[in-house]
Amino acid sequence: MQTQMTFNPQQLSIISQAAAMAEELVSNHFKMSASQWLRPKYDVKTLAELDPTEVVDGPFAQIIRYKGQPQRASLGSATYDLYKICLQDDAILVALDHHPELDMLPFALYIITHELIHIVRFSKFLQGFDASAEERLSEEKRVHERTHEILNTVRLAGLATVLDFYKDWREVFEQIDYNP
């Protein structure tokens, strides 16, 4: 198996900065208080922290939903959804290498903002986690539109280039064949 690239300490610091920025932007956009924001429990993990089953080939990130339960809870009614944003370091680093016009901070900000919007939408029941392929594609378009809406006013060097990189996801898809 080919060894995958992982983020170095400097890149991990950028990811942490992007995650903090994304959380603030998304919570402000959805007008969520600090207590509301804590309800959709989530974590952001990089490749070095992922289980082999959480690694995928292709996307920059994926969300996995787990069931959580407080340690002292004995009833099933105490369970909650725990979302894990699994960043795929290798895919992100390859994209940055192939697109030198992209800077890591705005690129990571877009990716994490996008995934947090998904989590908010799942937790508010605006989209089902287990959707059909057609529904997932429509949801991707909606979330890319919302990501653009949130980030379009942010003043960050290189962000306009990232927004342009994702512009095709905001456009209407022409006749998609869902059958292989």
Tens digit of each residue's pLDDT, the chain (180 residues): 456 899 999 999 999 999 999 999 999 998 887 766 655 588 999 999 999 999 998 899 999 888 766 666 666 666 777 889 999 999 999 999 999 999 999 999 999 999 999 998 877 665 545 655 666 666 788 888 999 999 999 999 999 999 999 988 766 443 344 333
Distance, in Å, from the CA atom of 133 to the CA atom of 121, rounded to the nearest integer, reads: 17
Q: What's the maximum distance between 2 C-alpha atoms anywhere in the chain?
A: 52
> Structure pTM?
0.84
In this structure, is the dihedral angle defined by the CA atoms of residues 177, 111, 116 and 142, taken in order, positive or negative? negative
**Which pairs from 25-31 meet CB under 8 Å and 24+ separation?**
25/113, 25/150, 25/151, 25/154, 26/113, 26/116, 26/117, 26/120, 26/150, 29/146, 29/149, 29/150, 30/120
pLDDT digits (tens, 9 = 90+) for 63-107: 988 876 666 666 666 677 788 999 999 999 999 999 999 999 999
- Token pair belonging to 114: 């996008």
Q: How large is the C-alpha radius of gyration of the chain?
A: 17
**Closest listed residue to residue 15, CA positions, set 101, 92, 98:** 92
Q: What is the residue extent of each domain of the chain?
A: 9-170
Amino acid of residue 159: L
Is residue 39 classed as helix, strand or coil in its secondary structure? coil
